[in-house]
């Protein structure tokens, strides 16, 4: 499954960076980070990653609640969506 997590910083960027480094060094089994971006607008960052289930997305951000607020989107490819219509 592919996930997109929208991130809003609750602390200084330097603190968020440290937590991000810890997350990257301790990824849940089966999670693969595809891309990370800092953004302008309502959210401060976006992470795109793969995991086996929604539980992987929960595990990824479980210890980051003190420094960020997240909103995670589960994706489906356009092709898969079209099969459901």
pLDDT tens track for 40-56 = 999 999 999 999 999 99
pTM for this prediction:
0.89
Q: Quick check: 7 and 45 in contact, CB under 8 A? A: yes
Domains of the chain, by residue range, sit at 2-84
pLDDT of residue 55: 93
pLDDT confidence of residue 64: 92
Angle ∠(29,5,75) on CA atoms, nearest 5: 85
Residue 2's pLDDT band (boundaries 50, 70, 90)?
very high
2-84 has CATH 3.30.70.920 classification = yes
Nearest to 71 by CA among 1, 4, 2: 4
- What 8-state DSSP symbol labels residue 68? E
Over residues 4-36, the pLDDT tens digits come to: 999 999 999 999 999 999 999 999 999 999 999
What pLDDT, on the 0 to 100 scale, is given for residue 83?
93
């Amino acid at each position: 499954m592919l996930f997109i997590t929208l991130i809003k910083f609750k602390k200084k960027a330097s603190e968020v960076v440290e937590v991000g480094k810890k997350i990257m060094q301790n990824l849940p089994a089966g999670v693969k980070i595809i891309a990370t971006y800092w953004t302008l607008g309502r959210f401060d960052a976006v992470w795109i990653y793969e995991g086996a289930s929604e539980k992987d997305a929960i595990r990824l951000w479980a210890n980051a609640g003190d420094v960020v607020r997240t909103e995670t989107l589960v994706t489906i490819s356009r092709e898969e969506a079209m099969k459901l219509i």
